[in-house]
């Protein structure tokens, strides 16, 4: 029996709502970056009329082009072996849910030559590779979080429990505060603790543990104790259909907190190198992974362990007229914008991937702005209080006499992240291109 879900998180939502109703196990393949096929394993047990109604209600919203069949409703009836089945007209091989095109075109990095042999990986596979390297080289390393034992909803830990054992890769309760609290304790005791928050949107219950405990542990003990071996991973950013609770970019909340590092990669090569740097760093790190890139981003990634320095921005493209700064998925939006500006306006753009949000590389950004005289910063998070404001303030202080135009910010709106209006919310290439035209004509 197979069920076609439009978003992987439907599985966890279903299981949280009716944990004794049905057990869902994830298959090893997906139809697209956003649509996965899950296999339903049905358990025999009495089903009341109310429970059957609840099942219909939950599954009606969760299942795409699927029908509920063979549900015998009665005071003490039971499920048959087949609870859910695809409609005869629905084929997982020929039909998928129709979606709008992505708001960006992925631009892979050149094949790295300095780290040894490479293999083709998408972004989630590069995460798996980094975790595999860590578990193999560090006997104290442990990975834990919701559903990580079977691979996680995005498959980032697939196969690691079987390879390294259930004592090193294990599930936790659905409690983000407990996940991070456990990670702090494990790190203080000497383990290399790698915690996964299933979605960055759900990191807020752990906010107190991160900000008041992990970030301050070393300071309050006068460096007698620390939890620097803690790394917190979380899928981050918009995905095309995530709506309020699966699309957020909360990096600015943590950028206000001394004692931790916040890192966001733009692709598989950077993802593996930066994640291994976070794991090796002697400070607690939050590593946000752009989930829309998990399968969309494919590059040749070194198979062996390597690191990319933290707090060091990368100049991806040199230019002379405008400096563009972003991180994560938005880098690929600005790559296209830089090409448009060159072709349509004759404007040369210098593109910088910040990579580390805290502490960020002020020197590289200010050096670029001193050369170009113009700056555009773009991110998906709401504009008010977003990290673009911090960059803008610092550049204004350091480069005031070099500026030829007011600094521009192209960001999300000050609203909750919408569902059907996501294409209007995100800072797409057209908004960024308009901002460049205003910078140049100022």
- Of the residues 103, 146, 176, 380, which is catalytic? 176
Q: Which tokens is 437 given?
A: 């035209």
For 437, residues 6+ apart whose C-beta sits below 8 A from its C-beta are: 345
Strand segments (E) across 267-421:
285-290, 298-302, 314-317, 322-326, 349-353, 356-358, 375-382, 408-412
Three-class SS state of 341: helix
Residue 16 host element (H or E): helix 9-17
* Cα separation values, 366 from 292, 354, 405, Å: 30, 12, 15
Burial of 101 (0-12, 13-18, 19+ CB in 10 A): exposed
- The angle, 0 to 180 degrees and rounded to 10, between the axes of the packed helices 387-399 and 362-372 is 60
C-alpha to C-alpha distance for 125 and 429, rounded to whole angstroms: 28
At 357, give phi and psi (nearest 5°): -80, -40
Question: CA 422 from chain center: how many Å?
Answer: 17
Question: CA 168 from chain center: how many Å?
Answer: 23
Q: Which of 312, 441, 333, 316 is nearest to 378 (CA)?
A: 333
C-alpha to C-alpha distance for 369 and 404, rounded to whole angstroms: 10
For the question of residue 176 being annotated catalytic, the response is yes
For the question of residue 246 being annotated catalytic, the response is yes
Q: Which tokens is 424 given?
A: 């209007």
- Of the residues 103, 246, 332, 379, which is catalytic? 246
Question: DSSP code of 148?
Answer: G
Cβ–Cβ < 8 Å for 129, 121 = yes
The residues annotated with a catalytic role in the active site are 176, 246
């Amino acid at each position: 029996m197979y069920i076609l879900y439009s978003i992987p998180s439907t599985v966890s939502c279903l299981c949280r709502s009716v944990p004794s109703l049905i057990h869902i196990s994830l298959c090893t393949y997906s139809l697209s970056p956003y649509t996965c096929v899950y296999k339903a394993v049905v358990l025999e047990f009495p089903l009341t009329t109310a429970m059957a109604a609840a099942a219909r209600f939950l599954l009606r919203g969760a299942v795409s082009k699927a029908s509920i069949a063979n549900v015998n409703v009665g005071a003490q009836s039971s499920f048959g072996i087949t609870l859910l089945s695809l409609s005869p007209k629905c084929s997982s091989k020929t039909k998928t849910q129709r979606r709008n095109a992505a708001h960006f075109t992925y631009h892979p990095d050149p094949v790295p030559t300095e780290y040894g042999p490479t293999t083709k990986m998408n972004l989630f596979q590069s995460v798996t590779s980094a975790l595999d390297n860590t578990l193999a080289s560090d006997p104290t390393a442990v990975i834990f979080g919701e559903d990580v034992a079977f691979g996680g909803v995005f498959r980032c830990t697939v196969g690691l429990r079987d390879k390294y054992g259930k004592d090193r890769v294990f599930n936790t309760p659905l409690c983000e505060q407990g996940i991070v609290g456990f990670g702090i304790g494990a790190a203080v005791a000497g383990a290399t603790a790698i915690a996964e928050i299933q979605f960055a949107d759900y990191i807020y219950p752990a906010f107190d543990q991160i900000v008041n405990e992990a970030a301050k542990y070393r300071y309050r003990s006068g460096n007698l104790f620390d939890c620097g071996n803690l790394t917190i991973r979380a899928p981050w950013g918009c995905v095309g259909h995530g709506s309020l609770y699966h699309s957020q970019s909360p990096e600015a909340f943590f950028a206000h907190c001394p004692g931790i590092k916040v890192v966001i990669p733009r692709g598989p090569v950077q993802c593996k190198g930066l994640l291994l740097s976070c794991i090796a760093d002697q400070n607690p790190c939050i590593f946000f992974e752009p989930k829309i890139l998990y399968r969309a981003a494919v590059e040749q990634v070194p198979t062996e362990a390597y690191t990319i320095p933290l707090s060091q921005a990368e100049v991806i493209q040199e230019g002379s007229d405008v400096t563009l700064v972003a991180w994560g998925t938005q880098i690929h939006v600005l790559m296209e914008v830089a090409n448009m500006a060159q072709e349509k306006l004759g404007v040369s753009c210098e593109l910088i991937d910040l990579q580390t949000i805290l502490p960020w590389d002020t020197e590289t950004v200010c050096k670029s702005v001193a050369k170009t005289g113009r700056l555009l910063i773009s991110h998906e998070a709401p504009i008010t209080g977003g990290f673009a404001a911090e960059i803008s303030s610092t550049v204004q202080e350091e480069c005031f006499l070099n500026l030829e135009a007011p600094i521009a910010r192209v960001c999300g709106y000050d609203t909750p992240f919408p569902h059907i209006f996501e294409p209007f919310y995100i800072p797409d290439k057209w908004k960024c291109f308009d901002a460049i035209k205003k910078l140049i004509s100022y």
